[in-house]
Amino acid sequence: MSHRRFERKALAVPSSRLSRLSRLGGLVSSIAGGVAADAARRFARGERPSMEDLLLTPANAMKLADELARMRGAAMKVGQLISMDAGDMLPPEMAAILARLRSEAHHMPWVQLKRVLDRAWGVEWRQEKFAEFDTHPIAAASIGQVHRARTHDGHELAIKVQYPGVRASIDSDVDNVATLIRLAGLVPKAIDIAPMLAEAKRQLHEEADYECEGRRLAEFGALLADRPEFCTPELYADLTRKNVLAMSYVQGVPIDDLVAAPQAERDRAMTLLIGLLFRELFEFRLMQTDPNFANYLYAPASGRIVLLDFGATRAFPAEFVDLYRRLLRAGLDGDRAGLRAAALELGFWDEDTPAPLEQAMLEMFEMSIQPLRQAAPFDFGATDLALRMRDAGVAMAGYREHFRIPPINALFLQRKFGGIYLLATRLGARVDLRAQIAPHL
């Protein structure tokens, strides 16, 4: 989460399972009512709209985005994932509306915030622990909000406070939003999304454990101790609880503010982040997989990149990393047979996948690896690769019923790759990708 002053209004978080279920139930009823009315109007005009046309409308997207932003927690988190992972499958207007979920959240009012902190630290926490505590958050996201504070001995802290009821409602939120996804036809009926939902629940339970996130924060601090170009906040374990994370406040500007910086500065920042990405995968086998731009700050005076929010940190098995190394090596060598074998072993498709779909997917892999093959820096600001990848994906729509959810580890990795690619494109950076990946292959 970035440390800029947060301006959205305060709204209490629905914290009981019943209140959260009723809000989603109300949303379903509202959308269903709108669909019925729209269908009646269009039938009266002699049209024969499909259910998908009736459901996937900007008005319904607005209702969904507004309700998920109000609920926060796992419901909003799943909405964020839909906006990222299914964005190309949605009408542009709907994708744009849902994309708001990645940058906007309401914050809880002081009465609700105080209740959470009273339970965590005792009712006298404000006088006992802090000289100052800003009750207005500097950031708010799907699971928690961040406040700035100063201890009696002068340490500046960032305190992340989890919304009440988030942990207890994760499973039901994911199930309820999955029902909405199915109703909207965002996922083909033939695709079994149960493994993905189970993994989403597991990941969200881990993200909602701030003591676990604190350990990951400290772990990354140790792993990057040899790289002064990066900075991670210092953990304050004595103030950290399951639902409160205390860390040092680190000054910086949002990473995407670099869009106005000189070319060399943008190139350097993205070279560092892409180098870190490959190091996380191949050396640490431990990756912060949330690609939200707000998880990075930039300190202009020192040129350091500040890394925030380690809730979505994922450890990769050695076998998976070795297979991914084989996949990339084959792609770089132009070895299509080796690429196919590695992708098959990773689980991107199986022996029953139609040959034309497999061929199209192989071509997409080769297309995505192409920037790693060139000896010169890759110019993210002057490429149509993302458009060509999207067009290739749309061309496979005829095989929608044969799609399968990628292996979970690959899904998280691809999300991180995609987020870094988007950031590099936003900054118009030029990066020698081959030089960054060569040492790891």
pLDDT digits 0-9 by tens, 131-141: 999 999 988 77
DSSP state of 130: E
Is the pLDDT at 148 greater than 50? The verdict is yes
Model pLDDT, residue 419: 85
Model pLDDT, residue 176: 74
Tokens 């990708």: give the residue.
433
Q: Would you place residue 31 in the very low, low, confident or very high pLDDT band (cuts 50, 70, 90)?
A: low
Model pLDDT, residue 3: 45
Model pLDDT, residue 89: 43
Model pLDDT, residue 48: 58
In this structure, how many other beta carbons lie within 10 angstroms of the beta carbon of residue 13? 24
Give SS3 for 134: coil
Same domain, 286 and 214: no
Is the pLDDT at 81 greater than 90? The verdict is no
**290 in catalytic set:** yes
Domain boundary pick from 250, 270, 289: 250
Same domain, 159 and 186: yes
Q: pTM for the full model?
A: 0.78
Same domain, 199 and 339: no
Same domain, 349 and 426: yes
Helix, strand counts (H, E) of the chain: 17, 13
Same domain, 122 and 234: yes
Q: Would you place residue 54 in the very low, low, confident or very high pLDDT band (cuts 50, 70, 90)?
A: very low
Residue 74 in contact with residue 170, Cβ under 8 Å? Answer: yes
Q: Which domain covers residue 299, as residue numbers?
A: 253-441
Exactly one of 53, 173, 226, 290 is catalytic; which is it?
290
Same domain, 438 and 297: yes
Domain boundary pick from 250, 275, 298: 250
Tokens 């060139």: give the residue.
374
Q: Helices marked H in 307-407 — which ranges?
A: 318-333, 336-346, 355-373, 385-395
Same domain, 184 and 277: no
Model pLDDT, residue 302: 92
Domain boundary pick from 250, 269, 296: 250
Q: Would you place residue 44 in the very low, low, confident or very high pLDDT band (cuts 50, 70, 90)?
A: low
Q: How far apart are CA 180 and CA 175, in angstroms?
A: 9
Q: Would you place residue 4 in the very low, low, confident or very high pLDDT band (cuts 50, 70, 90)?
A: very low
Which burial class, exposed, middle or buried, applies to 134 when counting CB atoms under 10 A from its CB (0-12, 13-18, 19+)? middle
In this structure, how many other beta carbons lie within 10 angstroms of the beta carbon of residue 106? 20
21 or 353, which is more confident? Answer: 353
Is the pLDDT at 232 greater than 60? The verdict is yes
Q: Would you place residue 149 in the very low, low, confident or very high pLDDT band (cuts 50, 70, 90)?
A: very high
Model pLDDT, residue 202: 85
Task: Work out how many domains the chain is built from and give that number.
Answer: 2
Same domain, 135 and 278: no
